[in-house]
Amino acid sequence: QSVLTQPPSVSGAPGQRVTISCTGSTSNIGAGFDVHWYQHLPGTVPKLLIYGNNNRPSGVPGRFSGYKSGTSASLAITGLQAEDEADYYCQSYDNSLSIVFGGGTKLTVL
């Protein structure tokens, strides 16, 4: 049972927009701690996708964006591409548990 709750799976057709939610509580996201997102492609090392709620590291396409409000956050992917098929994880900080992850969401590109 992860502290941050993500849907187990989402899917979309190429070119579509998908969002992945990340729901926390008043001890983590709602306490003002930043949310970060990682992309984990099969057979590779996880990669930082969004940091500080809505910032993209150099090299991450503008199709990826992050949003945070209250005790939740979301990752949006526009113009879905086949190579976006991966597992996505949100991560934040918790007053009691330190660093916490979501359980991960498997994105399938139809």
Partner 1 sequence: QVQLVQSGAEVKKPGASVKVSCKTSGYVFTTSGISWVRQAPGQGLEWVGWVSPYYHRTDYARNLRGRVTMTTDTSTGTAYMELTNLRSDDTAMYYCVRDPNRHFDYWGQGTLVTVSS
Question: Mapping DSSP to helix (H, G, I), strand (E, B) and coil, where does residue 59 land?
Answer: coil
R_g of the chain computed on alpha carbons: 13
Q: Which CB, 13 or 98, lies closer to partner 1?
A: 98
For position 38 contacting partner 1 by CB under 8 A, the verdict is yes
Q: Which of residues 15 and 52 has its CB atom nearest to partner 1 in the complex?
A: 52
- Which residues have CB under 8 Å from 104's CB, separation 6+? 6, 8, 40, 87, 88, 89
- Does residue 64 interact with partner 1 by CB under 8 A? no
Residue 48 pairs in a beta bridge with 38
State the residues that interact with partner 1 by CB under 8 A: 2, 33-34, 36, 38, 40, 45-48, 51-52, 57, 87, 89, 91, 93, 97-104
